[in-house]
A and B are shown apart, each in its own frame.
Chain A
Amino acid sequence: MHNILDTLYNLPIDAFMGQLMLGLINGAFYAMLSLGLALIFGMLNIVNFVHGAQYMLGAMMAWILLQTLGINYWASLLLAPLIVGAFGLLLERFVLRRVYALDPAYGLLLTFGIALLLEGSFRQKLGSSGQPYAIPAELRGGWDLGFMYMPTYRAWVLVASITICFAVWYVFERTRLGSYLRAATEKPQLVRAFGIDVSKMINLTYGLGVALAAVAGVLAAPIYQVSPLMGSNIIIVVFAVVVIGGLGSMSGAIVSGFLVGFVEGLTKVFYPAASSTVVFVLMACVLLVKPAGLFGRRA
């Protein structure tokens, strides 16, 4: 205890806020990814293990578009999710659809295999080292807030991810389309009887979830290095986030994403050695107290 207080008193406030900021940035990515995962799980009843690889694909696509065609960040932010989302549509239509009738474990194994395929292919082509991706000129620099220095790009990521998460949440929870989608997950036969093409909706939901991962990837490209391994490093943490939040709820996925990032940031300040394990410890604690997750309904 003495140690922690000691650290707290001697800690420069800007370093402290800086770590918290970093934590929140990580949290923004956790939130976007776990939201996509929850979305896909809700509709397809599949744990999309390839989600991390699709996030990597988003970043990779931005990098490739810049390298080969000179397409800038802003265009990539639109193009990369479209390309990766289209890939998701095809993947769902021709591959994933075959395992819906089976035990969900097979969906996990299948998407795990696809993730290995994608990651291995990019590693074979580009090696496992990271490639830098420059911050776009409009978002360089930062503001001095008095108690901390706020890089513009980080602020942009935070605002963008909160906006995106809210938009997705709004579409699914508050619009007519969203209510169709939610109805289709609960009673697909009945919704089909109303003349709604359920399999097309499932297809589009998967595409949207994948595009969401790709957006996260493009946003992440200037912060982290673009590497074939960036997806597999983050996906397991996102799984823990999903267990903490409970897969059933979309708002739960968003909130617990930011929460986990925040806790990680705090741990980095006080006990850096535990910063990569704290997520999993948090998960174990949540499992002990609320097995269904913080926001989950009874499974």
Chain B
Amino acid sequence: MLMASPATSPVKTPLAAKATAARRRQILAWGLGIAALAVFPFMVYPLFAMKVLCFALFACSFNLLFGFAGLLSFGHAAYFGIASYVTAESAKYWGLTPELSILAGTGVAIVLGAAFGWLAIRRQGIYFSMITLALAQMVFFFCLQAEFTGGEDGIQSVPRGDLFGLIPLGSHMAMYYFVMGVFLIGFLIIYRTINSPFGQVLRAVRDNDIKATSLGIKTRHVKLAAFVISAGVAGLGGATKALVFQLASLTDVSWQASGEAVLMTVLGGAGTLTGPVMGALIVTGMQQYLAQFGSWVTIIQGAIFVVCVLAFRRGIVGELDRLAKLPAFWRRRRAERRFTPAPRASTDF
């Protein structure tokens, strides 16, 4: 085990004990999470499980920008979709193995993300959202008209191939565990990005751009780096989805797909680590079960947006977090009350 036993660390400060406890909780959470992923395809249809994981990566990538950098990108489908096209093309026509075709797709998404990110971060706030949306729409029309994308038909019957040229991924179960591995890599990238000095800087830029600049942080570099990482992870999700469904289609580059990434994140909890995954599970599940009822999916998605913005901005995981912290909050409040008199009613107006 990674944890030091009490016998090997004779001096133990309260702070160190606290850190050890936090670390233990973290390892436990990761263990539980991975175990849950491992049994996931036994509880639901494996194809559905894989779809959830691909969209979870997509939503996590959006969340990195929106939740942690405060950049509302409304065109993330561009990276998701272009990666799925490139992966499908390279797996079907160039005969690349699955891991290489996914790398190719992700690579193109990263390059596209760098170009678009460089353009979009020239403007801030709401303009940023409109620019990303417009650029993504450009990619959509490109995919509609370019030769290699197959127009309305997309690229169909993409072979899943053999992993490293050795392990056939034809069966859904084999494919699932491969997708799970890809998901963990992507999720770890996001996790490491958030929990690093870079992640701290990112939050500083989000909360106070001007102050961060005055501290010597090159905010545009930071934003661009976050944008590129985000586009890469979105691409990873799209590339994997192309192999899972053996199809690359216009659906994945449309603005509706961008909207779905936003929906998943907002519903699950923007700025939380696991919120987008939760959101992806719920939204994908909803689509699966309501698909037969025509436009109800769109109506419900709209309603979720409205409710989330008006009454539920923390999202599911954010609310759960808050509830979990409530007892400690009240304890602290009570302790503070005991020592300091209650403040007088504020008089400024």
Q: Say yes or no: is B344 at the interface (Cβ < 8 Å to chain A).
A: no
Query: How far apart are B279's CB and chain A's nearest CB, in angstroms?
Result: 13
In the complex, which range does the number of interface residues on chain B fall in?
A: 35 or more
Nearest Cβ on chain A to B117's Cβ, whole angstroms: 12
Say if the beta carbon of B217 comes within 8 Å of chain A. Answer: no
* A175 contacts the other chain (CB 8 A): no
What residue of chain A has the Cβ atom nearest to residue B296's Cβ?
A: A124
CB pair B310 A283 closer than 8 Å: no
Q: Which of the segments A5-13, A78-86, A110-118 contacts the partner chain?
A: A110-118
Contacts of A114 in B (CB 8 A): 302, 305-306
A49–B294 alpha-carbon span in the complex (Å): 23
- Is B239 engaged at the interface, CB distance under 8 Å to the other chain? no
Contact in complex: B299, A117 (CB < 8 Å) = yes
Check B123–A299 contact: CB distance below 8 A: yes
The answer to whether B302 and A116 touch across the interface, beta carbons within 8 angstroms, is: yes
| Chain A residues whose C-beta falls within 8 Å of the C-beta of B302 in the assembled complex | 113-120
Residues of the B chain whose Cβ atoms lie less than 8 Å from the Cβ of A98: 310
Q: Which of chain A's residues has its CB closest to B311's CB?
A: A98
Cβ–Cβ contact A287 & B310, under 8 A: no
A108 with B306: in contact, given A120-B295, A287-B123 (CB under 8 Å)? Answer: no
The A195-249 residues at the B interface (CB cut-off 8 A) are 232, 236-237, 239-240, 242-243, 247
Size bin of chain A's contact surface? 35 or more
Residues 16-69 of A contacting B (Cβ, < 8 Å): 41, 47
Q: From DSSP, what is the main secondary structure of chain A's interface residues?
A: helix
Smallest distance from the beta carbon of A230 to chain B beta carbons, Å?
A: 15
Asked whether B4 is an interface residue with its Cβ less than 8 Å from the other chain, the reply is: no
Option from A108, A113, A281, A287 in Cβ contact (under 8 Å) with B131: A287
**A288 sits at the interface (CB 8 A):** yes
A284 at the interface (CB under 8 A from B): yes
Is the CB–CB distance between A124 and B299 below 8 Å? yes
In the assembled complex, B169 has its CB within 8 A of some CB on chain A: no
16 contacting pairs across A/B (C-beta < 8 A) = A104-B125, A105-B70, A105-B72, A106-B309, A110-B309, A113-B302, A119-B302, A120-B298, A120-B302, A121-B295, A124-B295, A236-B134, A236-B137, A243-B134, A276-B141, A287-B119
